[in-house]
Structure 1
Amino acid sequence: MDIAGYLDRVRGIYASGQATEHSYRPALAALFAGIDPALGVINEPKKSDAGMPDFLFERAGVPVGWAEAKDIDKDVIKLKGYSVEQRKRYERAYPNLIYTNGVDFEFIRDGARVHFVSIADFLGKLGGLQPLPDRFDELVRQLRNFAAAQPISITSAKKLAEVMAAKAAIIKDEVGIALAADPAFHTALGGQFKSFKANLLPGLEPDEFADIYAETITYGMFAARFHDDDLTTFSRAEALEKRPASNPFLKGLFEYVAGPALPRRLTYIVDDLVAVMRASDPHSLFRDFGKFTARNDPFVHFYEDFLAAYNPKKRKSRGVWYTPEPVVDFIVRAVDDVLRTEFGLADGLADTSKVTVDWDTGTNDPKTGKPVTTRRKVHKVQILDPATGTGTFLAKAVQLIADRMKARAPGKWSGYVEADLLPRLHGFELLMASYAMCHMKLDMQLTQSGYKPSSNPPRLSVWLTNALEPADREVRDLFFQPLADEARGASAVKRQTPIMCVIGNPPYSAESDVVLDALGDTSHWR
């Protein structure tokens, strides 16, 4: 690694008077390539408007470092304007980072400055660059130390949440830029925005969609990794293959994420997220899931850590608050007790009796134009958490029911789950990360209870929807079929399912005057 030769080249480019920021890139690329023959150096990797650092360093195809190159007259320490926010994003997202203007090199590890070295003084247009040869060896040592960094290894749930949040922030930026470049929303991504707006959030704006979509990809990827038995490999294609069978919505999303239609500007950061997941073992991070204490639900803490790093304001603006575990236990057991003592249902929440209701078929009579209904038997004890969050109340209900039914007939538990539990256990959630975590938590709760899925198990009746929005009888497919199917499922619960038990910490909206009258209709079970 010839620092003197590199600096002579840089000085010559500067002296030409015609140099731009990009004029110095070939010299920098050559300098970086000389660090270690086994180190791959990529200049402008999958270039993105929102900001991938200018250089990517790989070892055996695994990213180990990044570098951002500024123009030679820019102070890499005292950044201004957009560059300040850009640097903050990079520090959160890239654990082994160099900031350089070609002569000043700042080394940043895990968001903290670890070293700074300058190999020349910049004396302005007249003075040019004055070499500092006594610093050359220092730069060589630091570059070699930088290159020796090991691929990211994540050994705590808190660290994983923070790294995921950093990647999600950049995904959000990229999605926002992609939508801004498609004002008519003609692309596949634009079509998904229109579908989210039509089926989930009527007042949705592109920047809000970017936020939701970032959480969707991030937590969908996490859910896929959670279901991955082979920790040695992971890819976007594997994320599609490993996605939870109980969640068709995430399957539909990852058919897009894993396919060729994913915008180029999103590919690089999604692949970065894949690398993060490949470096983690969610099974070990959540091995104590079943060991609840009054203050220890790992899923809750994980999401709180994620929000604190990604968007702490969202916790307040969207009412993301959690009920203490003893309160959850009390509420679920109290509902169970009321069912047994006041309604004469000996099995309480585990009851399997059914009632007959009028069920809208979704078609209209050709003569009268009125909805065609049919008589359908459904479970009497229908349970709903209208703001389920990460699924704490539903998981507690599953635990109570499992203990009761397995004590009576342990060999019939799996059949009971599919025939008499999943069809009547419902949840609504508006935040994508919470929604994905809820599916994961219930999957894990059922697995740990001894449930063995059949060849065609029913999906979990946990839906991505706003509980305070009334349901539509007709749901348009628009551009993203999985979300339309999600809206139909939520609508069926809202409009037609005779909910008997509402548990949880309900959604609040001071500005909403929506009243879900159907939830107050007691005629079907009195």
Structure 2
Amino acid sequence: MSVIAGYFEKIAATFKGGQATEHSYRPALYELFSALDERISVTNEPKRVAIGAPDFIFMRGDVPVGHCEAKDVGVELKALKGYSVEQKQRYLKGFPNLLYTNGLDFEFYREAELIRSISIGDVLMGLQPKPEAFAELEAQLKDFVAQTPRTITSSKRLAELMAAKAVLIKDVMGRALVADLERNGDTDLTAQYRAFQEHLIHDITAADFADIYAETIAYGLFAARLHDQTLDTFSRQEALELLPKSNPFLRRLFGYIAGPDLDDRMAWIIDDLTKIFLACNLNEIMADFGRLTGQNDPFLHFYETFLAAYNPAKRKARGVWYTPEPVVNFIVRAVDEVLKSEFGLADGLADTSKIRIDFDTGQTDKKGKAITEKRDVHRVQILDPATGTGTFLAEVIKQIGNRVKASAPGHWSSYVETELIPRIHGFELLMASYAMCHMKLDMILTEMGYTPSGEPPRLSVYLTNSLEEGERVEQVLFARWLAEEAREASKIKRDMPIMCVIGNPPYSGESANKGDWIMGLMEAYKKEPGGKEKLKERNPKWINDDYVKFIRFGEHMIEKNGEGILGFITNHGYLDNPPSGVCAGTF
């Protein structure tokens, strides 16, 4: 008896009992799949299925070679309704070798294309076999498990596969998080979610949290693989070791991803993603990408390609259209020149002079008053409050580095640690961009010859909302690493004498950033010159655009310092729109 005939007898007996459910047929399917090839191991994970994973995974050693989604006998595969249709679309994008079956009908998909449909029976009058199709199905199933993952050679295909896996991670994580929250579960995942709510984005939903987390995992693994010199191995554990040690936040995040406590509802997809990176030589792909796009920085610009595949609407909403490098270069050079000509600092951005300030120690006296101490800090403190992937900060480092290395050869590494990192700061709200910024700056410093004297110092780039007040973080709740991030960002907002504010803030029309602190600062822009009468504008709401709020934030930081320079790329509206209080009264 053939394996297909034996399989049909088992499901026919189950069907005849009249009490079968979708899961009742799984043992017969498992036996069928396991008999196809002794080199293949088959896993059925019902716990994973509940939150959006395929029913069966086929592995050859550690490499997944196929996935199967099994529906109930009699379900019409071509007429799935509602969530199942959405699920199928995600699976088709995420799994290049995919099988859909209802126990009788088998649909084989390769690279999202239906390559063969085979039916071995129908349910018109009980289960009726089609024995003439048995041999065809057995041959096709053996071909299905014999597939070898293709080597990835194009940046476009890599972006599509990364995006497909990120969508699956987002979906599975979102469902797992909702399930844990509904039962009031105290898990690592819920702890991180609550920490995000407390310290970063107060109204973040479970779905949005899963979204930014999935994106960060996908691009973080990409960056780690880009650093990888051992092309024949790659795993989430190896990724942790490849990430820059200058970012404890990112390493702690990936410590969870790489560690034994990672939720097994997500672990299998992340492992699938590492296998994608294992199947490609990223250095060659990125070199080709740079040649095709004409971009000097493929690492950053590939993010646009990835996000276009992952979520094109988000790409547009975030304004992920990169600032032309010549514009960034011009603004940084202009700030450097103003420091020389207007402030008498001959070394411009490379100046290392210091001033004495009162610095909050983070402690309080018996009356609850903050305890401060005198500290000497660099006068030329530079902040990009919407740093994104670090384009402006990278240009600052390059311009300072070229000058320092030319005037003092051999002192670059010591200059980086004592005179550069302490005064280069960045704020970013989006976790994936924040992670990329750290990786990019680490790459720039390494390329320019920086060698750490010991444990690399933490780069002063923080995950925070620039438009929220820098408050003292008294308690460390839930995820300690995020609370520490909030605390250090607040110190810069409160205490650091920022002299240069640079960058390309987001444009957002009627902005969603409406916190009490920034809206209080914006009141100064909503009055006529003199500050007494309300602004006489027909449509003053456009003053609430994000870029205007970032201008106000920059002005506030410089005002606290008493002197400084603002160098932003902005929307041109305040130049050619009807006159407004923003341009007439302030700048």
Report the TM-score, using the length of structure 2 for normalisation. 0.82
Residues 1:84 and 2:85 are matched in the alignment = yes
User: Residues of 2 paired with 1:146 and 1:330: CA distance?
Assistant: 56
Q: Shift in Å at residue 326 of structure 1?
A: 2.1
3-state SS of 1:47 partner: helix
| Pair 301,442 (structure 1): closer, same or farther in 2 beyond 3 Å | same
3-state SS of 2:254 partner: helix
**Aligned 8 A contact 1:53 1:66 in 2:** yes
Please, which moves more after superposition, 188-197 or 264-273? 264-273
Tell me the residue number matched to 2:31: 30
Tell me the residue number matched to 1:500: 499
3-state SS of 1:231 partner: coil
| Pair 497,288 (structure 1): closer, same or farther in 2 beyond 3 Å | farther
Amino acid at match of 1:325: E
Tell me the residue number matched to 2:305: 305
Residues 1:519 and 2:557 are matched in the alignment = yes
**Aligned 8 A contact 2:290 2:298 in 1:** no
**Aligned 8 A contact 2:301 2:322 in 1:** no
| Pair 48,7 (structure 1): closer, same or farther in 2 beyond 3 Å | closer
3-state SS of 2:190 partner: helix
User: Residues of 2 paired with 1:281 and 1:421: CA distance?
Assistant: 34
Quote the sequence identity (%).
57
User: Residues of 1 paired with 2:116 and 2:333: CA distance?
Assistant: 57
TM-superposition CA deviations, 1:167-213 (whole Å, max 9, x none):
22222222222322333352222121111111111222222222222
3-state SS of 1:232 partner: coil
User: Residues of 2 paired with 1:424 and 1:333: CA distance?
Assistant: 17
Amino acid at match of 1:380: R
TM-superposition CA deviations, 1:253-300 (whole Å, max 9, x none):
233233333223122223223323333443444458998987553234
User: Residues of 2 paired with 1:450 and 1:131: CA distance?
Assistant: 70
Structure 1 residue runs of 5 or longer lacking an equivalent are none
Tell me the residue number matched to 2:45: 44
TM-superposition CA deviations, 1:134-193 (whole Å, max 9, x none):
x33432332232222213533333333322222222222222223223333522221211
Tell me the residue number matched to 1:480: 479
Residues 1:20 and 2:21 are matched in the alignment = yes
3-state SS of 1:503 partner: strand
User: Residues of 2 paired with 1:301 and 1:103: CA distance?
Assistant: 47
| Pair 169,385 (structure 1): closer, same or farther in 2 beyond 3 Å | same
| Pair 158,428 (structure 1): closer, same or farther in 2 beyond 3 Å | farther
Residues 1:179 and 2:177 are matched in the alignment = yes
3-state SS of 2:180 partner: coil
User: Residues of 1 paired with 2:290 and 2:306: CA distance?
Assistant: 21
Q: Shift in Å at residue 37 of structure 1?
A: 1.9
Residues 1:165 and 2:163 are matched in the alignment = yes
Q: Shift in Å at residue 343 of structure 1?
A: 2.2
| Pair 153,486 (structure 1): closer, same or farther in 2 beyond 3 Å | farther
Please, which moves more after superposition, 44-53 or 386-395? 44-53
Tell me the residue number matched to 2:580: none
Amino acid at match of 1:159: R
Amino acid at match of 2:56: F
Structure 2 residue runs of 5 or longer lacking an equivalent are 522-552, 565-587
User: Residues of 1 paired with 2:439 and 2:251: CA distance?
Assistant: 14
Aligned 1:279-298 pairs, distance under 5 A: 279-287=279-287, 295=295, 297-298=297-298
Q: Shift in Å at residue 462 of structure 1?
A: 1.3
Amino acid at match of 1:384: L
Amino acid at match of 2:252: G
3-state SS of 1:201 partner: coil
3-state SS of 1:261 partner: coil
Amino acid at match of 1:327: V
Tell me the residue number matched to 1:72: 73
Q: Shift in Å at residue 57 of structure 1?
A: 0.8
**Aligned 8 A contact 2:8 2:129 in 1:** no
User: Residues of 1 paired with 2:321 and 2:240: CA distance?
Assistant: 31
Tell me the residue number matched to 2:206: 206
3-state SS of 1:337 partner: helix
**Aligned 8 A contact 1:294 1:326 in 2:** no
3-state SS of 1:175 partner: helix
**Higher helix proportion:** 2
Q: Shift in Å at residue 524 of structure 1?
A: 4.3
3-state SS of 2:240 partner: helix
Report the TM-score, using the length of structure 1 for normalisation. 0.91
**Aligned 8 A contact 2:387 2:426 in 1:** yes
TM-superposition CA deviations, 1:358-385 (whole Å, max 9, x none):
2111223336x43222221111221211
User: Residues of 2 paired with 1:362 and 1:481: CA distance?
Assistant: 16
Please, which moves more after superposition, 192-201 or 473-482? 473-482
Aligned 1:65-464 pairs, distance under 5 A: 65-120=66-121, 122-124=122-124, 126=125, 128-131=127-130, 133=132, 135-183=133-181, 184=184, 186-287=186-287, 295=295, 297-366=297-366, 369-464=368-463
Amino acid at match of 2:113: A
Higher relative contact order (CA 8 A, sep 6+): 1
Q: Shift in Å at residue 45 of structure 1?
A: 7.0
